[in-house]
Amino acid sequence: MTEDKSAPAPKSYVARVLLVIFAMVQITLAAGLIIGWPGIAGSMLVEPLENGGAGLTLDQTTQLYGLAAAVNYVAPLFLGLVLDKFGPRACSVLSNAIVSIGLAIFSSASSFSTFALGICCVAFGGPSVQQCLLHIGNIFAERRYFVMGIVAESITLSFAIFPVMDIIWEHGYGFRILFAGLGVLVFLSTIGSLLLWPDAPYEIPKSDDANEEKEKGDDDPDKDLKEASFFDQLSSGVYLRLCIFFVVTSWWGNFYIATVTVELGDQGIFDAEMQHTLTRWLSFLDAGAIIAAPLSGYMLDSVGFAPTAVVTIALGILQQVGLLVAGSSSHVMIGSFTAYAVYRAFLFPYFFASLSRRMGFRFFGFLSGISFCISGFTQFGVAPVALVIEGDCHKIEDYTTGQDVNCSEGSWVTAHWLQIIILALLLLVPFLNVRLEQPKRIQNPEEESTSFLPSSSSEYGSIKSGP
CATH number of the domain encompassing residue 286? 1.20.1250.20
Tell me the longest C-alpha to C-alpha distance in the chain. 72
Q: What is the pLDDT of residue 458?
A: 32
Q: Which residues, at least 6 apart from 137, have a Cβ–Cβ distance to it below 8 Å? A: 143, 144, 145, 146, 147, 148, 151
In a domain, 239, yes or no: yes
Q: What is the pLDDT of residue 456?
A: 37
In a domain, 243, yes or no: yes
Cα separation, 75 vs 446, in Å, equals 40
In a domain, 151, yes or no: yes
- pTM over 0.85? The answer is no
Beta-bridge partner residues of 7: 202
Calculate the dihedral angle through the C-alpha atoms of 9, 15, 20, 26, rounding to the nearest 10 degrees: -110
Q: What is the pLDDT of residue 451?
A: 39
- By CB atoms closer than 10 A (0-12, 13-18, 19+), residue 231 is exposed
Q: How far is CA 173 from CA 101, 104, 181, 197, in A?
A: 21, 16, 11, 35
In a domain, 297, yes or no: yes
Domain count across the chain: 1
CB 285 within 8 A of CB 341: yes
SS3 of the chain: the string is: CCCCCCECCCCCHHHHHHHHHHHHHHHHHHCCHHHHCHHHHCCCCCCCHHHCCCCCCHHHHHHHHHHHHHHHHHHHHHHHHHHHHHCHHHHHHHHHHHHHHHHHHHHCCCCHHHHHHHHHHHHHHHHHHHHCCHHHHHHHHHHHHHHHHHHHHCHHHHCCHHHHHHHHHCCCCCHHHHHHHHHHHHHHHHHHHHHHCCCCCECCCHHHCHHHHHHHCCCCCCHHHHCCCHHHHHCCHHHHHHHHHHHHHHHHHHHHHHHHHHHHHHHCCCCHHHHHHHHHHHHHHHHHHHHHHHHHHHHHHHHCHHHHHHHHHHHHHHHHHHHHHCCCCHHHHHHHHHHHHHHHHHHHHHHHHHHHHHHCCCCHHHHHHHHHHHHHHHHCCHHHHHHHHCCCHHHCCCCCCCCCCCCCCCCHHHHHHHHHHHHHHCCHHHHHHHHHHHHHHHHCCCCCCCCCCCCCCCCCCCCCCCC
Cα separation, 11 vs 162, in Å, equals 37
Cα separation, 467 vs 308, in Å, equals 9
Cα separation, 149 vs 301, in Å, equals 10
Calculate the dihedral angle through the C-alpha atoms of 258, 427, 126, 81, rounding to the nearest 10 degrees: -140
Cα separation, 300 vs 153, in Å, equals 14
Neighbours of 29 (CB within 10 A): 22
Q: What is the pLDDT of residue 81?
A: 85
Cα separation, 70 vs 378, in Å, equals 7
Q: What is the pLDDT of residue 206?
A: 55
Q: What is the pLDDT of residue 179?
A: 94
CB 336 within 8 A of CB 319: yes
In a domain, 256, yes or no: yes
Mean pLDDT by 10 residues, the chain (467 residues): 64 88 93 84 86 85 84 82 88 95 93 92 92 82 77 82 90 91 96 91 60 47 76 87 89 83 80 80 77 78 83 92 87 90 84 80 80 80 84 70 68 90 90 70 46 36 34
Q: What is the pLDDT of residue 289?
A: 75
Amino acid at position 162, single letter: F
In a domain, 21, yes or no: yes
CB 16 within 8 A of CB 22: no
In a domain, 33, yes or no: yes
Which residue range(s) make up the domain with 72? 13-205+219-443
In a domain, 451, yes or no: no
Q: Which residues, at least 6 apart from 390, have a Cβ–Cβ distance to it below 8 Å? A: 259, 262, 263, 266, 410, 412
